[in-house]
Chain A
Amino acid sequence: MRPRPKRTKSPKSAAVRAEGLQRRFNGTTAVENLDLEIAAGEIYGFLGPNGAGKSTTVRMLCTLLAPTAGRATVAGFDVATDPGSVRLRIGAALQDVALDPKQTGTELLRLQGLLYGLPSRALDKRVEQLGELIDLGDALNRRIATYSGGMRRRLDLAAALVHNPEILFLDEPTTGLDPVSRARVWAEVRRLNQQLGMTIFLTTQYLEEADELAHRVGIIDRGRMVAEGKPVDLKRAVGADVIIARVEGQGAAVAPTLHAIPGVRNVEAHGSELVITTDNGPAALSPVAVALAGCEVPVRELTLRTPTLDDVFLDLTGTRIEHDDNEEDAA
């Protein structure tokens, strides 16, 4: 008989905890000294550009990839020393849908259920429930090879939910989806969290997605966590307001002048775009316009808005997140 796995309950019942997690590939560090603590029932958004280390982190937490250094527990079990116990408690929809095109949807869900040890009677009912959940109708009895991209994504999500996992990992679940489908996935994520209390670890390169869904956000860039907190707190740290000035020519020359305006916290120049953070946007808008005119810089556009997570990312890394939307429209 197998010894009962030892469950290490972290303080505040952390669903996911990582300490100094690291992964190297042939001398390249993909994830470096990552610390995480995600409470049970939380939606955690893991935000970063392509190649930042998001998927590598997910693969380590899902036991698909062994960490090079550091330690992580998921649902209280160590991913390296007790992966079997972790797998029983997690579900995952990875960045690429992971389906067998030669099976039917029903066969795939049934096989998932069998491998998760669901009793046969419960399995039939569960497949029926999931069929309703993803609304594939009769298509569930067709081979997956005939499904559209959107149908595959939904089946992939259902496959991750067969066993009602405690923790759900969603690796860029909306990449390539149209806005309507994206909104539906958001609604689904909220519902899983609110109605089933599922902890959700969501990676995304869409700032509005993290802003919309996540209770807390971690921002990763080049394998390192650069900021973590509630979206509202992260945005507040940037400043109360952001003024975006698009000028003709390079903006860098006028940045020092703008920085000298009272109330301006920071000025970043990116080509012809100037990002001015300030505690009081309406009050600073006129002085900014006057200063730009004084420097004889033609202004093409002047916008006042509240900060976004994109501004947070820009403030922390000096670059904006570029979306990879080249995938097929999966709707």
Chain B
Amino acid sequence: MSTVTIAIPIADEVVRAQPAGFLRDLGSIAGRALRAVPRDVEAVMPPVFIALFFFVVNIATLERLTQNIRGFDYTAFQMATAILLGVTGVSRAGAVVLDVQDKYFDRLLLTPVRRTAILIGHMAADVAVAAALTVPIITLGIILGVRFAGGPIGVLVFMALASLWSLAFAGFGYAIALKTGNPAAVNSSFLLFFPFLFLTSSYVPRSQLSGWLKTVAGFNPVTYILDGLRSLVLTDGWQWGELGKAVVAIGVVGVVSMALCFAALRGRTRRG
């Protein structure tokens, strides 16, 4: 049996708590979330493998369908879909549920940390992870011949749009995590993924969609995000209109998801 030998640190210099400040709170929480990523690699790697897999398979199976469109680069077209497949749903929401279950969330709430910093810290880590996950997909795209008209800045804008979309979508996962404290419910947030990513121009250009799907795709914000991403690799220059619409679409989804997850955070901290 181990022993507890206690020598109380009476203090020549007794440390006392003080408000840490929002940025330090944020950095501390984000740092912890990022440290956990390599320890929780099974939660991060599957989306990248899925994205890479479908990137290659979709090009092989669907490229011929667009061969009648003059000058159309299906590989560049598919890279945007692959990126969204890879980063949509990547978040630490599952880890937040485990914190709730392990009571560690209570330990965080006992500290003077700002409640919003707990969420935003996790989200900051999510953005970093999502940005990192775009790298192998973009690299494969470049190997397969995709070119960014905007050069390296175009690559960075591509990564930023994908990461911000990942963040906007992650809000739903956090909302479910904080509302339910149930890992199964968080996993089921994956279901939201389907209408967002498949009722849109994921596989063929919007002009090739027909009937109800074309109408639905017009209302789906992901359509505009894909258009924005594709504008960086399918055209010769900056398409500010397409990029602007993509930012607005991400903003609309983000406002809804953030409103839900911050409401869920308020609810959880209020009911204890």
- By a beta-carbon cutoff of 8 Å, the part of chain A in contact with chain B is 2, 59, 62-66, 84, 87-92, 94, 96-103, 107, 111-119, 122-123, 126, 129-130, 132-135, 143, 148, 150-151, 154, 159, 163-165, 178, 180-181, 184-185, 187-188, 191-192, 195-196, 331
Residues of B within 8 A of A90 (CB): 110
Known: A99-B104, A111-B31, A122-B15. 18 other contacts (CB 8 A): A66-B270, A84-B19, A87-B112, A89-B17, A98-B106, A99-B107, A103-B32, A103-B35, A107-B35, A114-B20, A115-B28, A118-B15, A133-B6, A150-B2, A151-B2, A163-B15, A196-B8, A331-B2
Complex CA gap A331/B1 in Å reads 7
Given B6, B19, B31, which contacts A188 in the complex, CB threshold below 8 Å? B6
Complex CA gap A303/B8 in Å reads 42
Given A94, A188, A195, which contacts B103 in the complex, CB threshold below 8 Å? A94
Interface string of B3-28 (1 = CB under 8 A from A): 11111111101111111110011001
Contact check, B103 vs A129: say whether CB atoms are below 8 A apart: no
Complex CA gap A195/B9 in Å reads 10
What are 5 A-to-B residue pairs whose CB atoms are below 8 Å? A84-B112, A102-B40, A112-B111, A114-B20, A187-B6
Complex CA gap A90/B109 in Å reads 12
* Cβ of B185 under 8 Å from chain A: no
Residue of A whose beta carbon sits closest to that of B11: A164
Complex CA gap A143/B38 in Å reads 13
The B contact surface, by secondary structure, is: loop
Contacting residues of chain B (53-108) with chain A, CB-CB under 8 angstroms: 99, 102-104, 106-108
Given A64, A100, A195, which contacts B102 in the complex, CB threshold below 8 Å? A100
Complex CA gap A98/B3 in Å reads 21
Contact check, A135 vs B17: say whether CB atoms are below 8 A apart: no
Contact check, B15 vs A88: say whether CB atoms are below 8 A apart: no
**Residue from A63, A119, A130, A165 having most chain B Cβ neighbours under 10 A:** A63
Contact check, A115 vs B106: say whether CB atoms are below 8 A apart: no
Complex CA gap A266/B15 in Å reads 53
* Cβ of B253 under 8 Å from chain A: no
Q: Which 6 A-B pairs have the closest CB atoms?
A: A65-B272, A98-B107, A163-B17, A117-B20, A129-B9, A116-B17
* Cβ of B36 under 8 Å from chain A: yes
Contact check, B109 vs A64: say whether CB atoms are below 8 A apart: yes
Contact check, B14 vs A164: say whether CB atoms are below 8 A apart: yes
- By a beta-carbon cutoff of 8 Å, the part of chain B in contact with chain A is 1-11, 13-21, 24-25, 28, 31-32, 35-36, 39-40, 99, 102-104, 106-113, 270-272
Contact check, A195 vs B104: say whether CB atoms are below 8 A apart: no
Smallest beta-carbon distance B202→chain A, Å: 35
Complex CA gap A196/B14 in Å reads 10
Complex CA gap A191/B272 in Å reads 31
Residues of A within 8 A of B32 (CB): 100, 103, 107, 111
Residues of B within 8 A of A88 (CB): 17-19, 112
Residues of B within 8 A of A98 (CB): 102-104, 106-107, 110
Contact check, A154 vs B19: say whether CB atoms are below 8 A apart: no
- A66-B272, A116-B17 known; A195 vs B10 contact (CB < 8 Å): yes
Residues of B within 8 A of A191 (CB): 6, 8
Contact check, A118 vs B110: say whether CB atoms are below 8 A apart: no
Complex CA gap A65/B271 in Å reads 6
Complex CA gap A331/B3 in Å reads 9
Contact check, A192 vs B104: say whether CB atoms are below 8 A apart: no
**Residue from B9, B104, B110 having most chain A Cβ neighbours under 10 A:** B110
Contact check, B112 vs A94: say whether CB atoms are below 8 A apart: no
Contact check, A133 vs B8: say whether CB atoms are below 8 A apart: yes
Residue of A whose beta carbon sits closest to that of B269: A64
Residue of B whose beta carbon sits closest to that of A23: B272
Given B16, B25, B106, which contacts A94 in the complex, CB threshold below 8 Å? B106
Residues of B within 8 A of A126 (CB): 9, 15
Residue of B whose beta carbon sits closest to that of A132: B7
Complex CA gap A180/B19 in Å reads 38
Contact check, A101 vs B107: say whether CB atoms are below 8 A apart: no
Smallest beta-carbon distance B173→chain A, Å: 18
Residue of B whose beta carbon sits closest to that of A169: B110
**Residue from B8, B99, B106, B270 having most chain A Cβ neighbours under 10 A:** B8
